[in-house]
Amino acid sequence: MNVRKITEKDWDTLVSWWDWWPGWEAPAKEVLPENGTGGIMVEKNGISVAACFIYTTNSKTAWIEWVISNPAYKEKDRGELIENLLKAAEQVCRNMGNTFIMSVSRNQPLINKHKKLGWIIQEKPVYEMLKFLK
């Protein structure tokens, strides 16, 4: 397993993953950290398996978001690799000096992975509120 920083070369791969998953649409690079390179990717045997982005703030808080995985990767260790991606993202946030991390998800398997890793899961519904300023 290898965890590395996302690069410009990964963009088309990430877009193809977002496009494959039902109900997902690739976000614009401009809304992602570092214009689409501010995150990490986990690989196994040279195959990209999953990625996430890490938003930083002017506080000790980071936001892990846009967790996405390779729909073609069908190996049994898929869930473990996604958990390792989350653990690596936590460590990156810790190394940046953050003391608090947040994330949101509707995906129950991903929520369960967060729970397994000790995240606090709010049981009451939380609504995403978005506004485009263009």
Helix pair angle (78-95, 108-116), 10° resolution: 60
pLDDT of residue 112: 93
The separation between CA 13 and the C-alpha centre of its own chain, rounded to angstroms, equals 14
| Whole-number Å distance between alpha carbons of 69 and 51 | 6
pLDDT of residue 103: 94
Contact 29, 36 (CB under 8 A): yes
pLDDT of residue 66: 95
| Whole-number Å distance between alpha carbons of 26 and 29 | 9
* Alpha-carbon torsion angle 102, 103, 104, 105, nearest 10: -150
Spell out the domains of the chain, with CATH numbers in brackets. Answer: 2-116 (3.40.630.30)
What's the 3-state SS for 12-56?
Answer: HHHHHHHHHCCCCCCCCHHHCHHHHCCEEEEEECCEEEEEEEEEE
pLDDT of residue 125: 81
Question: pLDDT tens string for the chain (134 positions)?
Answer: 999 999 999 999 999 999 998 888 899 999 999 999 999 999 999 999 999 999 999 999 999 999 999 999 999 999 999 999 999 999 999 999 999 999 998 888 999 999 999 999 998 888 888 888 87
pLDDT of residue 124: 86
Contact 52, 39 (CB under 8 A): yes
Stated pTM of the model: 0.91
| Whole-number Å distance between alpha carbons of 31 and 85 | 21
